Each structure stands twice: as structure tokens, then as C-alpha cells.
Amino acid sequence: MTARGYGGPLRYVQGPGVTDDIGLYIAPLAQSALIVIDGFFWETLRPKVEANLTAHGVKSHFVKFSGESSDNEVSRTVTEGKTAQAGVVIGIGGGKALDTAKISALHLGARTVTVPTIASTDSPTSSLGVIYSEEGVYDRVVRCGRNPDVVLVDSALIIKAPVRFLVAGMGDALSTWYEARSNFESRSNNYIGEGYATTAAGAAIARRCHEVLMRDGRAAYVAARDGKLTPAVENIIEANTLLSGLGFENCGVSGAHGIHDALTVLEPTHHFFHGEKVAFGIIGLLVLENRSLTEIHEAIDFCQGINLPTTLSDLGLENVTTAQLLKVGEIALDVRSVIHSVPVTLTPQLIADSIWTASALATQRKNEASQSTSHADLNPSNWTIFG
């Protein structure tokens, strides 16, 4: 029988103000900490973190994150960590700051703590880190060998970020179940160690991620748009961060991310967040796998309801050519691409045609919604009688 594997962080704590108690979670891990922190929070969050660590007997050494999780940035951070004799590395900020912290901890042989300041990525919980060039071009994935020891998610901090970050996180999280299913059907390994079959626990988490999004996604969008922290928002923060993170690492990704990666060859897509492009990739994946129109419409309606891209035009690709889409299909089939987990025989033309069809179906859905609204205006029950 095939061996199965499961992995995840040792502790996950979420709620408003949990960073106020950061020292409580760090003290059992080490007495000296290196903190990689986004520059945006240098003046506001750093003093609070330093004071709390000191109160719990932890020495702190801060490094202002440069903005790219590059080899040079990791090297600089590791040097700082050695000087500080850090036993734990804490990442505070977006996905790239957290990746830098995780990879640096690997080189230092230190424990890891992640403190995400946005909910647009599932990086905080995973054992993987991504290295980019100094110019921000993707280079490679680094397996850090272990998941973070502690993930602290301060929802009061996250709700202050523009709602677009939360929405992008929902786009990425929405792919979790669809791509997990691809891996089940193609019998692909997950990302635990060198790869194992998925456990029942991993599959259940991926499925639950989808259920939470469908139930609370739209309500969370409305609340977060105005900076309101409701139970629905808390649920979506958890789905974007914990459920999606555990789901993708324990089940694997496939065509939605494969299409995302290939679309980056087209310059207009560079102006969109990862989760926004993944959202469009989901529709392409469902077309590739010939899922039911009902399921495709469900995904389209959800994305359109929270302002995620669903058409080529939404991604600035209204003038994309047939030749360009075929090139995207060719790049998607790179031997290293995750798209090979899709349980169908793939060709560049099939991928290109599926991308075009996904956009056409989403455009049609938009038009139907617009017509429905127009017809509602003609319904006498909606008229206001003045007299």
C-alpha cells in the first residue's frame, strides 16, 4: 500500500490582538529572536513586538525586509541571525517576508514563527518558501523541512488592509478543493517531504475550505470592504490562511496554478495579485476537466460576486491573440509545471482553448446577470408609485 503523509504548523492562533501576546509563544522556543519585518510596520508594530518579547525574557534583533525574498536577502538575514545567535526567526508581513523568514530559519537551524499582516496567501502555514530574483521574477521553491512552529494571525491587523488582499486570498483558497480533487483523480503525491498520498484528514480540510468560502465569502467581502470584523470575516481569514495552507500542502495543486504560472508570460497580468490570477485559472481548470456547467457557473458566480477576475478582459488581456494563448498552453506544459496533476491528457491547444472557453463562459454569465437586472427594473412590483 502507498504511504500517506500529513503536515502542518504546531500552533495556529487567530483573533484580534493576538500579536500583543507574541512573547508568550516565543519564550518556550528560544531566548533570542531574529524578526524579519515589512518596512511598512517598522514604526508601528515593531516597538510593540519588541516590548512584549522583552517582557517575556526574549532578546530581539530586527531586520527590515527589503521587499524580495531573494538569495541576497536570505543571505543578509542569515548573517544577521548568526550575529544575534537567534534560536527562532519570526516573519512579520506579507508572503515574501514570511518566505524569507522560513528559508533563513532553515539555514540557521532555528525555529520559525509567522505573523501574516494580510490574508492574501497561504504561505504562513506551509513548509515551502519561494525564492525570487532581485527584480521579482520567480526562481524556485525551497523545501524548509518543517512547518512553522507558531502561526499568529491578528485579525484586527488584517482587517486594516485593503479588501483586495482578502479577496485575492479567497481566489487562491477557492482553488484548494478543485485542485485537491485533480490530485486525487490523477493519484499524484502531495508536498509533504518528497511527497505522499493524501490522508483522509488532508482531504477533509481541503473540502472544508471550499464549504467555508461558499458559505461566508460574500458576507465577508461586504464587511471587510468597510473594515468591519465579523464572524464571517474571521472564518474567511482562517480559510485563506489555515485551511487553504493545509489543503494545498497535504493534497497538492494542479491546473489553476499551472494556468496562473503560464499566464505570467503576458505582461498585463503582472499587475494582478497571485490569487486574482488563480481565480481565473480555476475556471480554466474546470473546463479542462469537463466539469458540469452547474459547477463552472458556481465558481464563476462566486468570483464575480466578490470582484475577482473571471475573463481575459478582467486580466487586461482583451486583445490577446490566438497565437499568444497557444504560447501560454506551451509554457503551461513545462515539465516542472503543476498542471500535470490534471487527470486528463493535455496539449498546448487544449489548454489554450480551455482558457478561451473559460473566459467566454464567464462573459456570458456576466451578460446574463446584467440582463436579469434590467428585466427586474421592468417588473411592476419594483416600481415606486408617486401620488
Residue of 122, 210, 216, 274 marked catalytic: 274
Catalytic residue among 38, 99, 149, 257: 257
In this structure, the answer to whether residues 101 and 115 fall within a common structural domain is yes
- Which parts of 63-147 fold into alpha helices (H)? 71-84, 95-108
Q: Do 125 and 202 belong together in one domain?
A: no
Amino acid of residue 4: R
Please report the pLDDT score of residue 387 as a whole number.
Answer: 34
Q: Both 29 and 145 in a single domain?
A: yes
CATH classification of the domain holding 188: 1.20.1090.10
Rounded CA-CA distance 69/91 in Å is 12
Q: Please check whether residue 382 lies inside any domain of the structure.
A: no
Q: Among this protein's residues, is 260 annotated catalytic?
A: yes
Question: Of 158, 179, 203, which closes a domain?
Answer: 158
Alpha-carbon torsion, ordered 62, 63, 65, 68, to 10 deg = -140
Please say whether the beta carbons of 202 and 246 come within 8 A: yes
Write out residues in the chain with pLDDT < 70, as ranges.
1, 373-387
Residue 4 lies in a domain: no
* 225 and 361 co-located in one domain: yes
107 is catalytic: no
Give pLDDT, residue 385: 43
pLDDT at 375: 58
Is residue 387 one of the residues assigned to a domain?
A: no
| Domain count across the chain | 2
The pLDDT tens digits for 139-174 are 888 999 899 999 999 999 999 999 999 999 999 999
- Residue-level pLDDT at 386: 41
Instruction: Give yes or no for a contact between 142 and 128, defined as CB atoms under 8 angstroms apart.
Output: yes
pLDDT tens digits along 328-337: 999 999 998 9
Report yes or no on 381 lying in a domain.
Answer: no
Q: Which of 172, 216, 261, 314 is catalytic?
A: 172
The answer to whether residues 147 and 111 touch, using CB atoms and an 8 Å cutoff, is no
Question: Tell me, what's the pLDDT at 343?
Answer: 97
Residue 178, C-beta contacts closer than 8 angstroms, at least 6 positions apart: 210, 254, 256, 282, 285, 286, 299
Residues 41 and 69 in one domain: yes
Strand partners, 310: none
The residues near 137 (Cβ < 8 Å, ≥ 6 apart) are none
**Pairing of β 59-65 and β 32-38:** parallel
Structural domain boundaries enclosing 139: 9-158
Q: What amino acid is encoded at 219 in this protein?
A: A
147 & 169 share domain:
no
274-294 pLDDT per residue, tens: 999 999 999 999 999 999 999
Residue 386 lies in a domain: no
- 183 and 139 co-located in one domain: no
Q: Are residues 28 and 131 in the same domain?
A: yes
Is residue 7 a contact partner of residue 190, using CB atoms and an 8 Å limit? Answer: no
- Among 260, 261, 314, 353, the active-site one is 260
Name the β-bridge partners of 54.
Answer: none
Return the pLDDT at 382: 55
Residues 298, 168, 198, 14, CA torsion sign: negative
Element (H, E) at 275: helix 274-288
In the chain the first and final C-alpha atoms are separated, in Å, by: 78
Q: Are the C-beta atoms of residues 182 and 289 closer than 8 Å to each other? A: yes
Residue where one domain finishes, among candidates 126, 158, 190: 158
Residue 1 lies in a domain: no
Note whether 99 and 115 are same-domain residues. Answer: yes
**257 and 227 fall within a common domain:** yes
57 sits in the region (left: phi over 0; alpha: psi -120 to 50; else beta) called left
| 197 falls within a domain | yes
Question: Residue 41 carries which DSSP code?
Answer: G
Whether the pTM exceeds 0.85: the reply is yes
| Residues 348 and 212 grouped into a single domain | yes
35 and 56 in a single domain? The answer is yes
Residue 146 DSSP SS3: coil
| CATH number of the CATH domain containing 26 | 3.40.50.1970
- Is 383 part of any domain? no
Last residue of a domain, one of 107, 130, 158: 158
Pairing of strands 59-65, 88-93: unpaired
